[in-house]
Structure 1
Amino acid sequence: MKRTTVSERALVLAPRGRDAAIAAAMLGEARLESAVCASLGDLVAELDRGAALVVITEEAIATADLSPLTGWLAGQEQWSDLPFILLTSRGGGLERNPAAARYLDLLGNITFLERPFHPTTLISIVRSAVRARRRQYEARARLIALQESEARYRTLFENIEVGFCIIEMLFDEAGHAVDYRFIEANPAFAAQAGFDPAGRRMREIVPDHESSWFEFYGRVAATGEPGRVEQGSATLGRWWDVHAFRVGRATERRVAVLFNDITARRDAEIRLQTLNETLEAQVAARSAERDRLWNLSQDMLARADFSGMMSAVSPAWTRVLGWSAEELLSRGYASFMHPEDEGATLAAIVAMAQSGEPTRFENRIATKDGGWKPIEWTVAPEPDGENFIAVGRDLTHAKAREAELEAAQVALRQSQKMEAMGSLTGGVAHDFNNLLTPIIGSLDMLHRKGLGSEREKRLIDGALQSAERARMLVQRLLAFARRQPLQAMAVDVSQLVAGMLDLIGSTLGPAIDLAVDAPAGLPLARADANQLEMALLNLAVNARDAMPGGGELHVEVRRESVRDRRPGLPRGHYVRLSVRDTGTGMDEPTLARAIEPFFSTKGIGKGTGLGLSMVHGLAAQLGGALTIESDVGRGTAVSLWLPVSHDPLPVEHRPRAGEVGDEPHGTALLVDDEDLVRMSTAHMLSDMGFDVVEAASGESALSMLAAGLDPQLLVTDHLMPGITGAQLVEAVRADRPSLKALIVSGYAEAEGIDPAIPRLTKPFRRDELAATLAALTTGAEAGGAH
């Protein structure tokens, strides 16, 4: 079981209705990885595969056997404290939710989120939990590093030939060190000291031990300043080179001591009565120290002269660049520089020689395998005036990190810009829907009744066609803003493409050859068939316009699996619908703006600039992605990635527009706060044979019902001042469960609407309203894709 798997995904357990799918969709739209669990057992299994947090509903654990989950939590490693986000209906306080204490005891690291909640609240809490989980992963890494460091320390402790021990100082009431106790000692210490300390006090071993040892160790323990001294013991007859430093907290008064037995050397010094050997030992130690620095430094060290040759290079040159010392010393150092950097580098060296001061610069140095590495140099002249010392640091990783940061910042700015444009576009489109509803409805009624002269009829037809074009434009705006109401279901993409071949062929014209590769037997995709057809037609039109002189258009459907995370394309299985042309292609600046709304290269009056924007918004709203590849002069390939659906193909039901006849159908209660929208809809209902009673608000409608109104149909707008349409339907059905109800809504109004309640999207025509009511009457599902 992999309890330490590092992962940033959120596991979702919400067994009621579509809660899990909605939560996963919210997280996906925020680009947070998630996985939906069907049961508590699946959740525990997924935890072993790695998770950053768990989003769980209260009803999923209220009566379940939580022992597998609590067992898993109890088995977490010491660094891990898995975060839980519990979606409740009564909050997380004990005064409102008595079960909160039980959940706290069972789950530990838990955040309560009361429903209903705004998606932004959930996303904020989830991101906070992911950041907390990252800190746990960092703690895990530090813990592993600490354990490895301790293992290295223990190996060194046991095997070095230098004596080493840790002692605890003992002081009297006056603060004087009077003894010390051995906490730990390595084998080399016992061999050099001639006794095994084994947790004993020094006074127990040597009662007349010299007080100078206690004073030296006591000073180190009290001040925290390390000390080094040569100490001898007349009692033991030995001399040591002692290096002592405090370890642990100051209150613990513990000192680590390194002993190097120098008895032989001290004996020689006493016999020869000279300090020369001591001086030679110090010089040797410093030379060894210098040599260690030279050999172990990660920076490239060199000694060079002003004539252009190096006389010494450190081993780091070979590690960084691959050249051997012989190759480096046999050629002038200018021959290793990038030609573009040679002049500036030599000028900096000459300036350093003239000023006598160190200087710093960057250049590119050749590697043995034929590449170049950016190096930061610090050079300083030697006192002889003929040589200088150079220290070079490899900037490869630093440059890469700078490039990654810059790319991330560009992507963030682009994402923020597109999000802002989407919000603005969606809001404008919603307002246009409200404006278009009475326009289209009224023109449709005039058209159906055939009023006016032939010229007036043509004017009405033209106005209606323009209104329909405006509705299509609004749909594209909503698709870009990802606020288009979708009927996402299982779709056979190959079958859909086959059904559109005649339409695509007629759209392309005779100058463009159409090739289709859409094999049968591919997995079903999760999509809205109507919107997907519109997207495919848009791509075909764009391809046609990119091939004014003719060419080839290739439509391909394939199954694809994404195993590595890609920008905007999570791991998973997809059906990829690709449209590839042999047209003019796009350069980099054009490609970077291709999906922006209203951006077009077709010229004024030749395009809205919303085709690719709409397709991009549709793909994102369905949980997929849009990718574009293009070469100037060679063509463009646009791929629509749709998630694989595991649902069966739906049984199609298309109610006929005439199913609601002209006979009276009883009383219809119409509720809408927009006077023009309400007037247009009332005319449609009256034309279908209903007796229409109008109300400007939900509260007014409830008052009419309380006064005795008994309608057979309720048609209501959703977002209104006071109670919403969904709340009105819920309140009315509490007393009249059999009352048929229809909600008329805009792009952003699907939130809070029970999916079981039929919904019609503004703007709509009389036939569309009639078809929806026919489906409502026959018990079929009325969709919101109108």
Structure 2
Amino acid sequence: MMNDITRPQGITDGHSIERALAESEERFRQLAAAVDQVFHIADPAAGRLLYVSPAYERIWGCSPAPLFQDLSSFLDAVHPDDRTRVEVEQAQPLTADGTDIEYRIVRPDGTIRWIRDRVFPVDAGGDTPGRFAGIAEDVTERHDADARLRESEARFEAITNSIDQMIWSTRPDGYHDYYNERWYEFTGVPHDSTDGDAWNGMFHPDDRERAWATWRRSLATAEPYHIEYRLRHSSGEYRWVLGRAQCMRDVDGRITRWFGTCTDIQEIVEARELLARSRAELEAEVVQRTRERNRAWEMSSDLFAIMGLDGTLKVINPAWTTTLGFDEATLLGRPFPEQVHPDDHDAVRAAVERLRRGESIARFEDRLRHADGSWRWITWSLVPEGAIFYAVGRDVTDEKRRTAELDAAQEALRQAQKMEAMGQLTGGVAHDFNNLLTPIVGALDLLQRKGVGGEREQRLIRGAVQSAERAKTLVQRLLAFARRQPLQPVAVDIAKLVTGMADLVASTTGPQIKVAVDVEEELPAAKADPNQLEMALLNLAVNARDAMPDGGTLRISASKEDVPEGSASRVNPGRYVRLSVADTGSGMDKATIARATEPFFSTKGIGKGTGLGLSMVHGLASQLGGALTISSRPGLGTNVQLWLVQAVETTKLPSVQEPAPLATGHGIALLVDDEELVRQSTADMLADLGYQTIEAASAEEALRLLDKGSYFDFLITDHLMPGMTGVDLARAMRQQRPGMPVLLVSGYAADDGIAPDLPRLTKPFRKDELWASLSDALKWSSV
């Protein structure tokens, strides 16, 4: 045919050839325009493009015209990060095999596309330099798909390594090519060492053939793979595992992969074998296996059971009877839901649904009824198998109780810490308030004793004295709450104290309140300060009265109580006398009870209470080593119980004699206090008592006066001052002047840091109280 084409046939044949060529070129152009690939031909020697198909404009988004003038302008569209790599590739000599390169381009609209460009040399013949032709295609979607695949594989890897089961995967032919980290942790083998058929060596020799036969059948039939076999553990022993696998298919139904899991079921298999062994097997092994079976089944304190998904108990071990108190026949004859606490029914139903779906449950809790009517908390591990499931339960009732007790103890500790902080703040305020009251009380006492002014002035002074006394009482309550009020605990006859106060309480509460006293016979004595205890009892009675504005009953009772070790009571173990004040008033809710002992907290409204009554009683109880408990419900009244430690014997307190006032005193007092107004007031009282004073604003100043030779007969000093304390000053003074009389004055009135051999006076004080304390100090030093 080539001869026919080349044979000269005249102009007609020439036109036919041109027409054929034109038609061929047109078909080529149509073909090039129809495909998504870019065909291009270039002359590298001339540095220009000879031909490019229309797909260029669709993919590059611009005209190829510049390329026909300057082939290097092709690089302008290449992504900056890929440009150097493309330039290096273009600089390489073009071999017969051509080149295949992928790079990114940036379209004029800013979008980025991935291009695969394959270039081949074209022989132009003769001495004409070589040209090259190429095919470029847009592979952006493939790159995006690859990125999504990598992201999907990363998610798959993260998920499979985050669960407890061993995960594996194979190709359609069953070749194992993936295991998660749990597999390598369980088996202890190096990574990739069990790919392909190598995992066969992990089976127990007795299970190997059965496992492979099941796997080959699943590969042949596409049925799910489900088998139990023994797998070699990293410890060297073989453990039972449950192997599961499902195939994945494409849209045409062809299997693309197998995905499987291995679950360690060693403990479950052991329990199942023990529970499900047939009577014939048990009889055949009764001699050898009875003791082992009994140990695991009958002697276990855990509850073993086989249950039906329909809610029936099929088999149980003796621990059920031990734990719940019912005999085996009763437990097996009663539907399991009837044994469950009503509040747990929904949770039990949800757990059964999970078991129906084939899920194992590692931990589940519910409450079962005990024969004595109580409820026992049981925590379960549940594994389904067909229409039944295996259950192993443990009684955690005591554990939950201990947890609740620990939570309560921690809450009590937080409350105690809060009250301690408030006590420190309150004690500090009371100390400063005592310093303010001391000159006020002293000055008013002097004015009242001297009869200054007429009747009107004296009436005003008496009113001021009463207000100062009320302020003094308020400070004492603050100190009682802060546990810094001085106590004189003795063995007190509580029965006598309560009955003796009955009339006072009745007159205080008024005729609308019925007061009932109930004191246990032969009530032992309690360790208490009788004066403070009377004040506490009166405060509780006033609170009870205010809670019953329309009248009611106030019951004061006293009884002996023993709190044993391990008791759930909020009171420490020991022997107590419990003093109770109960009313039938409005009561309190839990939030109010929680704050009832806070200082200044009151529900009585503005001007109707200081909020210090219960605070003082609480502080007194704590200071005496006892406790205060409150039980109350809105609308039903309140019962406040004061727990006092029992005393060995009752002590009869000597009556307090008023100090015999002396007509005049004599001598010089060294008066030390960092508060100027307190020094002035005390100096005025001492002057009225006939004493001269030398004043010092600090302990250090007082020592300097002593070093300079200042003479004085006795020392009166504040205790808590900046720098040295009053006790330190007294010790330093007595080292230089042994036997010198000392009187300590304190706004705290606490025993902390004050030696018992130093007489003490509590702020604020009157002249007669100063005289009495000073007389005691002078007598003390003379003894």
Provide TM-score, normalisation by structure 2.
Answer: 0.57
State how 1:294-373 maps to structure 2 within 5 Å: 294-330=297-333, 332-355=335-358, 360-373=363-376
Q: Distance in 1 between matches of 2:454 and 2:600?
A: 38
Query: Is residue 524–residue 646 contact of structure 1 (8 Å, CA) maintained in 2?
Result: yes
CA contact (8 A) 1:775 1:781 kept: no
Q: Given the alignment of the two structures, is residue 626 of structure 1 paired with residue 612 of structure 2, yes or no? A: no
Contact 2:365 2:377 in 1 (8 A): yes
| Alignment-derived partner of residue 605 in structure 1 | 607
Distance 1:461 1:579 in 2: 35
Q: Could you list the per-position Cα deviations for residues 443-473 of structure 1 after superposition, in whole angstroms to 9, with x for gaps in the alignment?
A: 3333444445666555544443333222211
Task: In structure 2, list runs of 5 or more residues that go unmatched.
Answer: 1-234, 239-282
Matched, 1:596 2:598: yes
**In structure 2, what is the Cα distance between the partners aligned to 1:282 and 1:708?**
107
Distance 1:335 1:526 in 2: 53
Question: SS of the counterpart of 2:592?
Answer: helix
1:745 maps to what in 2?
Answer: 746
Partner of 1:717: 718
Q: Does 1:427 align with 2:428?
A: yes
Deviation at 1:633, TM superposition (A): 2.6
How far off its partner does 1:490 sit? 4.6
CA offset digits 1:110-156 (Å, max 9, x no partner): xxxxxxxxxxxxxxxxxxxxxxxxxxxxxxxxxxxxxxxxxxxxxxx
Q: 1:338–1:704: structure 2 CA closer, same or farther, 3 Å change rule?
A: closer
1:699 alignment partner in structure 2: 700
Q: Distance in 2 between matches of 1:371 and 1:506?
A: 48
Q: For residues 336 and 622 of structure 2, what CA distance do their matches in structure 1 show?
A: 55
Distance 1:645 1:654, change over 3 A: farther
* C-alpha distance in 1 between matches for 2:782 and 2:360: 84
Partner in structure 1 of residue 275 of structure 2: none
CA shift for structure 1 position 761:
0.8
The question of whether the paired residues in 1 share the 8 Å contact of 2:672 and 2:717 is answered with yes
Is the 8 Å Cα contact of residues 717 and 726 (structure 2) preserved in structure 1?
A: yes
How far apart in 1 are the matches of 2:359 and 2:499?
A: 80
Given that residues 431 and 748 in structure 2 are in contact (C-alpha distance below 8 angstroms), is that contact kept between their aligned partners in structure 1? yes
Contact 1:664 1:691 in 2 (8 A): no
Distance 2:523 2:346 in 1: 62
Q: Cα deviations across residues 654-688 of structure 1 (Å, max 9, x unaligned)?
A: 224x7043x35222211112212111111111122
| Secondary structure, counterpart of 1:659 in structure 2 | coil
Note the 1:222-233 alignment, pairs <5 A: none
Provide the residue aligned with 2:547 in structure 1: 546
Relative to structure 1, the CA distance from residue 484 to residue 285 in structure 2 (aligned partners, 3 Å threshold; closer, same or farther) is same
Closer, same or farther: CA 585–339 of 1 in aligned 2, 3 Å: closer
Deviation at 1:484, TM superposition (A): 0.7
Alpha-carbon distance in structure 2 between the residues aligned to 1:374 and 1:592: 29
2:621/2:642 contact within 8 Å kept? no
Work out whether residues 586 and 636 of structure 1, in 8 Å CA contact, stay in contact via their aligned partners in 2.
no
Once the two structures are superposed, residues 228-247 of structure 1 have per-residue CA deviations (whole angstroms, 9 ceiling, x without a partner) of: xxxxxxxxxxxxxxxxxxxx
Change in Cα spacing, 1:609 to 1:737, as seen in structure 2 (3 Å) is: same
Matched residue, 2:151: none
**Which residue of 2 is the match for residue 688 of structure 1?**
689
1:226 Cα offset (Å): 10
Q: Which residue of 2 aligns with 1:130?
A: none
| Maintained 8 Å contact 2:580/2:639 | no
CA change 1:532–1:225 in 2 (3 A) is same
Residue 764 of structure 1, CA deviation:
1.5
CA–CA distance in 1 between the matches of 2:332 and 2:492?
A: 70
Task: Kindly report which structure 2 residues correspond to 1:8-157, keeping only aligned pairs within 5 A, or say none.
Answer: none
Offset, 1:778? 5.5
The corresponding residue for 1:616 is 618
Counterpart code for 2:404: A
Q: Which amino acid aligns with 1:590?
A: T
Shift of 1:369: 4.9
For 1:435 and 1:742, locate their aligned partners in 2 and report how far apart those are by CA, in whole Å.
Answer: 20
Distance 2:521 2:337 in 1: 65
**2:401 counterpart SS class:** helix
What residue identity is the alignment partner of 2:549? P
Aligned residue number for residue 652 of structure 1: 655
CA distance in 2, matches of 1:346, 1:416: 45
Partner of 1:481: 482
Q: Which amino acid aligns with 2:345?
A: E
Alignment of 1:357-436 (within 5 A): 360-382=363-385, 385-436=386-437
**Cα–Cα, structure 1 residues 458 and 646, in superposed 2: closer, same or farther, change >3 Å?**
same
Shift of 1:482: 0.7
Tell me what 1:75 maps to. none
Rounded Cα–Cα distance in structure 1 between residues aligned with 2:524 and 2:338: 60
Q: Distance in 2 between matches of 1:363 and 1:505?
A: 53
Task: Quote the sequence identity (%).
Answer: 55
3-state DSSP of counterpart to 1:433: helix
In structure 2, distance between residues paired with 1:524 and 1:323: 48
Q: Return the letter of the residue paired with 2:768.
A: D
State the secondary structure of the residue aligned to 1:710.
coil
Q: Which residue identity lines up with residue 616 of structure 2 in the other structure?
A: M
Letter in 1 for 2:734: R
Residues 448-507 of structure 1, C-alpha deviation per residue, up to 9 Å, x if partnerless? Answer: 444456665555444433332222111111101111122334544455456545543432
Letter paired with 1:649 = K
Q: Distance in 1 between matches of 2:319 and 2:521?
A: 60
Q: What's the CA shift string for 1:401-446, capped at 9, x where partnerless?
A: 3222222222222222222222222122222222222232233333
Partner amino acid, structure 2, of 1:681: T
How far the C-alpha of 1:742 sits from its partner, in A, is 1.0
Kindly provide the CA deviation profile for residues 362-409 of structure 1, in whole angstroms up to 9, marking residues without a partner as x. 333344554433333333232xx4443333333323322322222222
Q: 1:678 to 1:354 in 2, by over 3 A?
A: same
Alpha-carbon distance in 2 for matches of 1:706, 1:288: 93
Quote the offset at 1:543 in angstroms. Answer: 2.5
Q: Per the alignment, in what secondary structure is the counterpart of residue 428 of structure 2? A: helix
Question: Counterpart of 1:768?
Answer: 769
User: Is the 2:727–2:754 Cα contact (8 Å) retained in structure 1?
Assistant: yes
State the 1:641 CA deviation: 1.6
Aligned counterparts of 2:696 and 2:715: Cα–Cα separation in 1: 11
Alignment of 1:191-590 (within 5 A): 293-330=296-333, 332-355=335-358, 360-382=363-385, 385-451=386-452, 457-497=458-498, 500=501, 503-516=504-517, 525-556=526-557, 564=565, 569-570=571-572, 574-590=576-592
In structure 2, the CA distance between the partners of 1:393 and 1:514, relative to structure 1 (3 Å rule), is closer
Residues of 2 paired with 1:697 and 1:751: CA distance? 20
Query: How far apart in 2 are the matches of 1:404 and 1:707?
Result: 64
Q: In structure 1, which of residues 627, 641, 645 is the aligned counterpart of residue 644 of structure 2?
A: 641
Kept after mapping to 1: 8 A contact 2:481/2:620: yes
Residues 448/345 of structure 1: CA separation in 2 closer, same or farther (3 Å cut)? same
SS at match of 1:390: strand
Amino acid in structure 2 at the alignment position of 1:401:
R
What amino acid maps onto 1:619 in structure 2?
A: A
Q: List per-residue Cα deviations over 1:501-557 (Å, max 9, x = no partner).
A: 554343222333444566998665443333223222212222222332334444455
Q: How many angstroms does 1:583 deviate by?
A: 3.6
Which residue of 1 is the match for residue 256 of structure 2?
none
Moved more, 336-345 or 465-474: 336-345
Structure 2 counterpart SS, 1:685: helix
Distance 1:499 1:425 in 2: 32
Alignment CA distance shift 1:307-1:673 (3 Å)? closer
Shift of 1:348: 2.8
**How many residues matched?**
503
In 2, the alpha carbon distance for the partners of 1:715 and 1:332 equals 85
